[in-house]
Amino acid sequence: MATYAYEHRPDHGAKAGVLAYLATSAAVLLLMMVFGLLMRLEQAQWISIGADRFYQLMTLHGAGMVGIAAIAGASVMWHFLRQYVDLSSRIFIANLVLFLAGVVMILASVLLGRFHGAWTFLFPLPGKSMGMWSADAAALFMGGLLVIGVGFLLLHLDVARAIVARYGNFARALGWPQLFGHDDGKAPPPTVVASAMVTIVNVIGLVVGASILTMMLVNLYVPGFDIDPLLAKGMIYFFGHVFINATIYMAVIAVYEILPRYTQRPWKSNKVFLASWTASTLMVLFIFPHHLLMDFAFPKWMLIMGHIIGYLNTVPILVVTGYGALMIVYRSGIRWDMASKLLFLSLFGWAAGAMPAFIDGTITVNYVMHNTLWVPGHFHTYLLLGMVTMVFGFMYYLGKPDHETDDRPIDRIAFWLFTSSVLGFTLSFLYSGKESVARRYAAHLPEWVPYDRIASVFAVLVIASALLFVGRFFARIGLARHDYQRAPLARAATA
């Protein structure tokens, strides 16, 4: 077995493009959080915006959050991957431009065209609004998603080009020679392995997503071009699952790159690491039927496959990445600051959120919990306390004035406020799911309202702490471009 030692790498500041990605993500994140709060307040019967407006906000919240998760995740991947491969800045910027163009189209569709068919645009709802929106509004929404998808496809093709130019092929980028042969310790670093995985799954996912969007766009104006609703559902969930999952696999690169700098311990691509990422590549592609467990007409072997992969998919998260973070932090002498705390917390959020998620993927559980608030309960845990927290950690890291700077008391308070309020918020969702509260309801039955009120209070606290994190990032954005050591050295061993 190869032995691994920590090698210090110089700390590069962020390119302007990375900061533009992060600034866009942060601003849209706050806005979408406010939209989410408005939805909870409406369900709590503390405000009255009406079902029409509620579902518009719901559509924007879903599309917006998935979009900025992808943008933020891509910025983390691009920032660190360019240490190892030669990426195109122009394509990186082109993706952001296309993203913003898509956002404008989506905003126009919803705010002007009153489209509210949900971000999942399940066929044939966009074309059957009962007069609530026009075919043009639906086309603008789906066209916006398509434009955003094209941007990401370009980005991933550029990443693919750069990886192949440096490593020869994807098998080598995934470390297969070391995984299936002798581990000579020369497997690509975790950042490259993760980027290769994300590129493979997202290129496939985006092509499938673009295909169904194009089919549905044609169907909007040529109804004779018929689409099988079950096929459409399968394609949408395949694309949607891959795309949102990939955001976590991109953002976790921040953990792989930054935590070793704090602990001066290596996070290397050994056989177990490589095996888990190869397994995740396959599992992310084949897990999507767990979204269709209540579609009894779907092929049963695929539904059972979704159930089984739901269990298996949890193993790499717990045993490799989560456990890996615990290993390098244990007795490391790490000096905790906002960046290291948030990155450590993010892996807890990811691993903890995976628990109710795999339970939901159990067919017999799904039978009584599918499309209840249990679902947003688990995905808000691993996205908000996992993926978004990784990005907050990355933002704090980039903006850290120097490696010895202490955090301000208000930031420390915000960290604990964020941790506790996100847990309160997500547990409110999960408890509501346990009580069978249906998902995506503009108005709740009187029995459900108390849970909505508790969730609303936690949502306000989540937004307050996120506001401080984002404010701190913008206040320090000028520092983020410079090259200097940000991570404090771990404490020396004591005799």
Within residues 397-456, the interface with other proteins by CB under 8 A covers 430-431, 433-436, 438-445, 447
DSSP state, residue 325: H
| Least Å from the CB of residue 235 to other proteins | 14
Q: Binding to other proteins by residue 495, rule CB under 8 A?
A: no
Region from 71-79, 242-250, 331-339, 397-405 binding other proteins, contact rule CB under 8 A: 331-339
Q: How far is the CB of 440 from other proteins (least distance, A)?
A: 4
Q: Which of 40, 61, 172, 233 binds other proteins (CB under 8 A)?
A: 233
| Smallest distance, other proteins to C-beta of residue 323, A | 6
Footprint of other proteins on residues 43-82 (CB under 8 A)?
Answer: 51-52, 55
Closer to other proteins by CB, 19 or 329: give it: 329
Instruction: State the Cα–Cα distance between residues 247 and 252, nearest whole angstrom.
Output: 9
Taking CB under 8 A as the criterion, the residue among 79, 116, 156, 261 binding other proteins is 116
Binding flag, residue 380, other proteins (CB under 8 A): no
Cβ 180 to other proteins, closest distance in Å? 20
Which of 12, 101, 108, 124 binds other proteins (CB under 8 A)? It is 124
Q: Which tokens sit at 141?
A: 């929404």
SS3 label, residue 5:
coil
Smallest separation (angstroms) from other proteins to the CB of 160: 32
What residue has token string 């405000």?
47
Q: Break the chain down into helix, strand, coil percent, rounded to 5.
A: 70, 0, 25
Candidates 134, 348, 412, 457; binder of other proteins (CB under 8 A) is 348
Q: Give dist(CA 435, CA 431) in Å, integer.
A: 6
8 contacts other proteins (rule: CB under 8 A): no
Which of 88, 89, 129, 420 forms a contact with other proteins (CB under 8 A)? 129
Q: Which DSSP string corresponds to 373-401? A: THHHHHHHHHIIIIIIHHHHHHHHHHT-S
> How many Å apart are CA 445 and CA 425, to the nearest integer?
20
Q: Which is nearer to other proteins, 116 or 241 (CB)?
A: 116
Q: Does 352 bind other proteins (CB under 8 A)?
A: yes
Please state the closest distance from residue 334 (CB atom) to other proteins, in A: 5
* 12 burial level (CB within 10 Å; 0-12, 13-18, 19+): middle
Respond yes or no on whether the N-terminal peptide bond of residue 124 is cis (omega within 30° of 0): yes
Query: Which stretch, 123-131, 242-250, 407-415, 474-482, contacts other proteins (CB under 8 A)?
Result: 123-131
Question: 77: which residues sit within 8 A by CB, 6+ positions away?
Answer: 159, 191, 194, 195, 198, 250, 253
Q: Among positive and negative, which fits the CA dihedral 22, 28, 32, 33?
A: positive
Rounded to a whole number of angstroms, the minimum distance from the CB of residue 430 to other proteins is: 7
Cα angle, residue 139 at apex, residues 285 and 131 outer, rounded to 5°: 115
Among 88, 89, 362, 420, binds other proteins (CB under 8 A): 362
Shortest gap between Cβ of 364 and other proteins (angstroms)? Answer: 5
Structural contact between residues 396 and 77, judged by C-beta atoms closer than 8 angstroms: no
Candidates 79, 156, 265, 400: give the one binding other proteins (CB under 8 A): 265
**Interaction between residue 222 and other proteins (CB under 8 A):** no
Closest CB 367 distance from other proteins, rounded Å: 5
With beta carbons less than 8 A apart as the criterion, state whether 445 and 15 touch.
no
Q: Considering CB under 8 A, how many residues would be counted as binding other proteins?
A: 86
Looking at beta carbons only, is 93 or 227 nearer to other proteins?
Answer: 227
User: Binding pattern to other proteins, positions 294-323, x when CB under 8 A?
Assistant: xxxx--x--xx--xx--x---x--xx--xx
The residues with which 438 forms a beta bridge, in sequence order, are 372
Residue whose CB is less far from other proteins, 4 or 484: 4
Tell me: does residue 177 bind other proteins (CB under 8 A). no
Nearer to other proteins, 9 or 300 (CB): 300
Nearest approach, Cβ of residue 119 and other proteins (Å) = 10
240 touching other proteins, by CB under 8 A: no
Tell me how long the chain is. Answer: 495
If binding is defined by CB under 8 A, does position 286 make contact with other proteins?
A: no
The HSE-up count of residue 184 (CA atoms within 13 Å, CB side) is 7
Residue 270: DSSP 8-state: -
| Backbone conformation region of residue 400, classed left if phi is above 0, alpha if psi is from -120 to 50, else beta | beta
Q: Considering only CA atoms, which of 356, 350, 373 is closest in space to residue 429?
A: 373
CB 377 to other proteins: min, Å: 9
Residue from the set 209, 289, 356, 376 that interacts with other proteins by CB under 8 A? 356
CB of 442 to other proteins, least distance (A): 5
Residues 6+ apart with CB under 8 A from 430: 356, 373, 374, 377, 378, 381
